[in-house]
Structure 1
């Protein structure tokens, strides 16, 4: 928080001291500081202020690959997936080995339903041996294949992700989703029961196991699990809305 405050103070100081005819280096310095402020707002979850600052920086340094990647992330958060795609592509045009932008472009393709393009991106990322969090692109591959209804492939990549990081909730939920979609309800219950013992407050997993209980017609346990979801998430969340709808049908 202190670092973020210092950034805000620095940019205000730079702007106040800059003359009307400031040289290009000074403009670039201010743009970079503005970019850092925008990224700080993004990390704090304030996507509107983040976008405002990043767009201001973009006026001066539109060919910065890292700025384009940051803009793509904000547009992803604001559900403007088309604009996110454009900025991730530009980041990669400017820096062809920018692996984070490649993974993020794949994420944008997932949101746009472009499964084949997403798979191509994630496969490239998984080949990068120095990528910091390899469980993420493997999980993303799982989701791309899941949406293509290629469940064996999805199962393989979710498991590969979990071999790297057994606690990665996105892949745990992904593997559970494969079991549910293929009607492997008992397998889902066994798997999710083990995972919930490790992380009893994982609302998405309570929702998954509730659906598995529905699949085997154990409505009492399904109801109990959906009620647990409501205790764990805000009532305005999509998980809460789904749980309420399910409970209304079960009552």
Structure 2
């Protein structure tokens, strides 16, 4: 839920927007076309991870059509791609102001606060997004909510939300992996292994799930089980970061005494 000061701020802006809106001419058709073209190009550039050029295109789109919430949302995504969440936040807020109760925008705002480790604010927006029954990817918001609680050290609440995530998307492996981390934090080893196994069952080609499981077995001194899991991680992600991490861990297990 918004703080009172933020609600007041947005209300003032909305009232001001109403007064100014009475005197604002509608966007000409050619301006609308230019804005839409730049918006579409900006989204394509985000997909290609060319975030800097995406920002340039989307800023121009926003200048042409400043009251388009989707443009502001995409600008937020582009800034986050540049790892500038502090610049993303005002655009997500503007998108929400222009299109209230949009769970996608709310979830995105939560991710920006999470990137800044402002967990309470992140939780506020993830909660709002997850409770919207019209949100098609509620499982993502619940997973994000669980991760925010985990980072606050509230591991039971984290697990509760990871479980809600898989209620809405039973094959969402990442929620099980995150659940495993929270079980580890509580030193509930069997439950952690079970969560990692479930993630690997859902995604047999995952590199992350067997890496987490192998590392846990290694720390518990179950060396044979650790080796088996780490070899799966290497097989599934031979040239990626999970395979590399698994090889590094495997070296520590096999290092001669």
TM-score tier after normalising by the smaller chain length: 0.7 to 0.9
In structure 2, the residue matched to 1:247 is 250
- Number of the residue aligned with 1:70: 74
| Contact 1:72–1:88 (8 Å) recurs in 2 | yes
Summarize deviations over 1:107-165 as a string: whole Å, max 9, x none: 11111101100111111112212111111111111111100111110111101111111
Matches within 5 A, 1:124-139: 124-139=128-143
The 5 A counterparts of 1:1-251 are: 24-233=28-237, 235=239, 237=241, 239-250=242-253, 251=255
CA–CA distance in structure 2, aligned partners of residues 198 and 93 of structure 1: 38
For 1:234 and 1:90, the matched residues in 2 are separated by 43
The TM-score with structure 1 as length reference comes to 0.82
Counterpart Cα distance in 2 of 1:123 and 1:49: 32
Query: C-alpha displacement at 1:167, in angstroms?
Result: 1.0
8 A contact 2:177–2:199 mirrored in 1? no
| Structure 1 gap ranges (5+) | 1-22
In 2, Cα distance between the equivalents of 1:240 and 1:56?
A: 42
For 2:198 and 2:94, locate their aligned partners in 1 and report how far apart those are by CA, in whole Å: 43
Superposition deviation, residue 240 in structure 1: 4.2
Residue 10 of structure 1 aligns with which residue? none
TM-score (norm 2): 0.80
Whole-Å separation in 2 of the counterparts to 1:66 and 1:168: 27
Q: CA RMSD in A?
A: 2.1
Distance 1:40 1:34 in 2: 10
1:173 CA displacement = 1.1
